[in-house]
Amino acid sequence: MTGWDRYSPEACKDFGEDLILYYYGEWQGTERDRVEKHIKDCPRCESFLEELSRLLPLSHDTDEPPEAFWEQYSREMHQKLAALEEKRPWWNSLFERITPWTYGAVATAFGLILSLVLAFSGGKWLQRYSSEDRLPQEIQAVSGELEFFKTMELMEVLELLEGVGQSNHERKSA
């Protein structure tokens, strides 16, 4: 029994928690019989159980506020809700009148109008650019030089291969 003797010096060390469980009717069968037998033989545990019977019901009493408290509480809540209602922005009342299906209908109408405008405008709404027109001038200049550098790199590789080919030819002739 874990530390019960610290809280109740009157009960036996081994039966403190068992007496509480017995009081609440948790023990059944042989355990209940064992605790009842001990209570008959031990006056300390018997007085402890009587003390439990006297004190534990007091801990269950509820403290209900009087009816006047609830009336005052209700009045205050209604005043606070009315004050909140007065502070609401005008657009909240506008959205309250709209039913949920209206949102879908408005979105569908907007999508339909947008698709009709794009379909019958002849492409005026869409500006078509080539990929080079969208690039800044500095990047366009670099892209032209990139071709030059690729060509130069290819030439270096060719020179290297020619050098390797000549050295192999020289070794074979030697």
Considering Cα of 97, then 98, then 99, then 100, what sign does the dihedral take?
A: negative
Residue 39 above 60 pLDDT? yes
So what's the pLDDT on residue 174?
61
- Contact criterion met (CB below 8 Å) for 40 and 56: no
**Tens-digit pLDDT profile for residues 70-98:** 899 999 999 998 888 777 777 776 667 77
**pTM to 2 decimal places:** 0.32
| Predicted confidence band of residue 61 (pLDDT cuts 50, 70, 90) | low
Residue 44 near residue 10 (C-beta atoms within 8 A): yes
Q: pLDDT > 90: what percent of the chain?
A: 9
Mean pLDDT, residues 110-129? 76
* Assigned token pair, 16: 């403190």
Q: What are φ and ψ of residue 15, in 5° steps?
A: -120, 5
Mean pLDDT of 102-114: 89
Phi-psi region of 25 (alpha: psi -120 to 50; beta: other; left: phi over 0): left
Predicted pLDDT at 3:
47
With cut-offs at 50, 70 and 90, classify the pLDDT of residue 135.
low
All residues at 6 or more sequence positions from 118 whose CB lies less than 8 Å from its CB, including other chains: 125, 126
Sign of CA dihedral 159, 164, 169, 174: positive
